[in-house]
Structure 1
Amino acid sequence: MTPIIQKEPTGCGIAACAALAGLDYDTARTRAAALGIHAADRTLWSQTAHVRALLTELGIEAVAGEQPFTGWDALPDRALLAIKWREIDGVPFWHWVVFVRTAFDAVVLDSKAALKTNVRRDFGRMAPKWFIRIHPT
């Protein structure tokens, strides 16, 4: 799985779904738009419904509900993580990233364009709040 770079400042949810589906950003953005999902919509990164709808559209099965993050070793092999969680005027916001564990490595795929590398292993610098388990394909 490779990281997909978001082409819009608020496109992390679309990019995370694209990475999980093995699609490029533009294709995922087009599929999202057909569902009425746009990066400019603040609910894309303050609610889970849009990302869940896009995952379903892309044929990716996610477990219902969110689970609290308790540690990196407790994560499933594939998960959407909510990092940079904060509240603004009582509304929660976060940045979507993808966690992937293989037999050889565990990484976070981060879509933020300004990063030196979008394959992250600096787990101590990230503070996930919760995650959505992604079923293996």
Structure 2
Amino acid sequence: MISPVIQEEATGCGIASVANIVGKTYPEMKAIANGLGIYADDTALWSDTQYVRTLLKNEGIATSDNEIPFTTWDNLPDTALLAIKHHQEDGKDFWHWVVFKRIDGNAMVIDSAAYLDSNTRTDFGEMTPKWFIKVSLLHESSFDA
């Protein structure tokens, strides 16, 4: 059973998503992020991928070099950061971070949004990912993407 980390700030989805990948609490991950100069109220956290990449690398997690366009749920790796709710404001891209996990063949999305009834989602038709970042432990093989 997965116990999702819920974001404690309206704009903390990136911090919560990394916490969901590495198994830390939101306050633990927020303290690490703040120590690296990353803050939830910085809108760049959900308009620039470098911040979550930095957090993941700090925790021993490698990421694909590029954002990979989403095609189908079946084509996702076993763990990925997904960009959903993609939109533009003043010509700048923004999105909501969620985590895709496949465990023993069962696919789910861990969505840290506090307003959800369930943060472990399988309502794939309701989500429209634009792209994803593949994540893996650093000692695993490098990515093709």
TM-score range, shorter chain: over 0.9
Q: Distance in 1 between matches of 2:47 and 2:35?
A: 20
CA positional deviation for 1:131? 0.1
TM-score where L is the length of structure 1? 0.97
Which consecutive residues of structure 1, in runs of 5 or more, have no partner in the other structure?
none
CA positional deviation for 1:57? 1.0
Question: Which letter maps to 1:17?
Answer: V
Q: 1:119 to 1:22 in 2, by over 3 A?
A: same
Could you tell me which residue of structure 2 aligns to residue 3 of structure 1? 4
Higher-strand-fraction structure: 2
Range with greater deviation from structure 2 (102-111 or 112-121): 102-111
TM-score where L is the length of structure 2? 0.92
Which consecutive residues of structure 2, in runs of 5 or more, have no partner in the other structure?
141-145
Q: Distance in 1 between matches of 2:105 and 2:38?
A: 35
Q: Distance in 1 between matches of 2:43 and 2:120?
A: 25
Percentage identity across aligned positions? Answer: 52
Runs of 4+ in 1 over 3 A off after TM superposition: none
Q: Distance in 2 between matches of 1:104 and 1:75?
A: 12
Could you tell me which residue of structure 2 aligns to residue 26 of structure 1? 27
Could you tell me which residue of structure 1 aligns to residue 63 of structure 2? 62
SS, match of residue 28 in structure 1 = helix
CA positional deviation for 1:76? 0.4
Aligned residues: 137
C-alpha RMSD of the superposition: 1.1
Q: Distance in 2 between matches of 1:2 and 1:69?
A: 26
